[in-house]
Chain A
Amino acid sequence: KNEVEQSPQNLTAQEGEFITINCSYSVGISALHWLQQHPGGGIVSLFMLSSGKKKHGRLIATINIQEKHSSLHITASHPRDSAVYICAVRQGGSEKLVFGKGTKLTVNP
């Protein structure tokens, strides 16, 4: 059974700050997803990673397979980045995603 741990649980930042959210998992995976959940509840996929690093705009996601760890970075944070960021992993041979509890990010102007 794969356990997915995220840190921190809550994060408050000032506009413009560099943000890092961490995710660790316990068992080997085929892919790791970073997702964003807004207060209305909808979930948006940000990245799917199996190795290395991906960048999209101000968002960067990295993964270290050997250490079973991934980070999501937000550069030049903005109040509209305020949301819950969720890490989810998929084990090889399984289609299901196992979710972390999420990190609630609040960016103040």
Chain B
Amino acid sequence: EPEVTQTPSHQVTQMGQEVILRCVPISNHLYFYWYRQILGQKVEFLVSFYNNEISEKSEIFDDQFSVERPDGSNFTLKIRSTKLEDSAMYFCASSGPGGERTEAFFGQGTRLTVV
């Protein structure tokens, strides 16, 4: 069964460092998303991406964050200068050509720890 894969599964970084979280969405999917879950809290939307541009973003997704689909298969989330409060589980998701009318498939997540 096709799946969304994320790497790494766990990343520890120093405050102020840049991190790149990587995702390989399901191959025929066209809509891509990043969500995050701070420990003990609910999952929050960060950004959606379609047709090589951001289609929607939350207030959390400020200038510190950027997304890219560099090569047609990977989908990345970059955090430029990490803060302690960026520590969370980050989930990538993708959905098919129907976008909001289709099911979203999630990756296993990347646990980011900022120290």
Q: What is the interface of chain A, defined by CB distance below 8 A to chain B? A: 30-31, 33, 35, 40-45, 48, 86, 88, 90, 92-102
Contacts and interface: CB of A to CB of B under 8 A. Distances in A.
Nearest to B109: A41
Interface class of chain B by DSSP: strand
Contact of A88 (B43, B56, B99, B102): B43
Interface of B: 31, 33, 35, 37, 41-45, 48, 50, 55-56, 58, 89, 91, 99-109, 111
Contact of B106 (A40, A44, A94): A44
Given A41-B111, A102-B42, A95 B106 contact: no
B53 to A, nearest CB: 13
B83 to A, nearest CB: 21
Contact of A30 (B33, B56, B101): B101
A30 B100 contact: yes
B42 A101 contact: yes
Contacts of A42: 106-109
Given A43-B43, A101-B41, 19 more contacts: A30-B101, A31-B101, A33-B103, A35-B106, A40-B108, A41-B89, A41-B109, A42-B108, A45-B104, A45-B106, A86-B43, A94-B100, A95-B48, A95-B50, A95-B55, A97-B45, A99-B42, A100-B42, A102-B42
